[in-house]
Amino acid sequence: MNNSSNNSSPEDGEEHGELVWNEFDWERYLRQRDEAVTEYRRCYDQAAESADRLDEVARQLGWEPTLDGDLEGEDDDEFDSDDLDPYTLHRNPVYVATRALFASLIERLETAVVAGEGIAPAQAFTLLRRLHRAEMAVVLGVQSLDLGDNTLGISELKRALGLLNSAMGVLPDAAADAAPGDAGPPLSRYALARLFDLREICLRVVRECRQEQEHPRDDDEQS
């Protein structure tokens, strides 16, 4: 994974000096990151029926299927407008993808409870709590990876996997959660697809981290 890159050229510091942003600048930046999450959700919803929807969305957004955000053959001397912005967790592709999927799950669950769509409020509360804990574990895991601590990152992502598995066990039966006249998929089918994809993202990142631990890249030899 290359999620710890600050996405800036070696000369950025000399040309632009030390980054000094005020609250307005950071608010603009955060709104752009919110738009990135919204764009991921839009692409995902369009590809929701595809068996390889994660890879399809990654390609649409210019990411590799591994979600590390790099493109093969990318010219390091060319930068888009975002490349001069600082790197933060908000720009991590894994964070963007998981944030979008968790948000869509929570919104769909809230809608189902209001509509009385086959899930009791107490059951929904338990599911929401597990989703919240899983999302926090993912965020902490990605942050740990960005800080260079792969072992801690793997541990947090393994916690997220356990919580996602437990969330699946709280979902209502598929035959009981379809609301009359509902044009969209039943809650259980909608949620299961996204829970499985969240698990797949976590598993991919853990697998990639372990591969790096077993075969570390020697940057000195490549320089």
Look up residue 97 and give its two tokens.
């993808």
How much is the pLDDT for 119? 87
Strand ranges for 12-171 from DSSP E:
none
Q: 202 near 164, Cβ under 8 Å? A: yes
Only one residue has tokens 């996602």, namely 164
Closest to 37 measured CA to CA, from 89, 74, 72: 89
Could you give phi then psi for residue 51, rounded to 5 degrees? -65, -30
Rounded Cα distance between 173 and 48, Å, is: 21
Q: Give me the tens of pLDDT residue by residue for the chain, a chain 223 residues long.
A: 444 434 444 444 444 456 789 999 999 999 999 999 999 999 999 999 999 999 999 999 998 655 544 444 344 444 455 667 899 999 999 999 999 999 999 999 999 999 888 788 899 999 999 999 999 999 999 999 999 999 999 999 999 999 999 999 988 875 555 555 554 578 999 999 999 999 999 999 999 999 988 887 655 455 4
pTM for the full predicted model: 0.79
Instruction: Specify the pLDDT at position 20.
Output: 85
- Structure-block tokens of residue 55: 């890879």
Q: At what angle do helices 23-46 and 53-60 cross, to 10 degrees?
A: 130
To the nearest 10°, report the CA torsion of 71, 77, 80, 83.
90
Domain residue ranges of the chain, discontinuous segments joined by +: 12-217
Cβ–Cβ < 8 Å for 7, 87: yes
How far is the C-alpha of 59 from the C-alpha of 188, rounded, in Å?
A: 27
Structure tokens at 140: 């902490």
What the block records as the tokens of 167 is: 């969330």
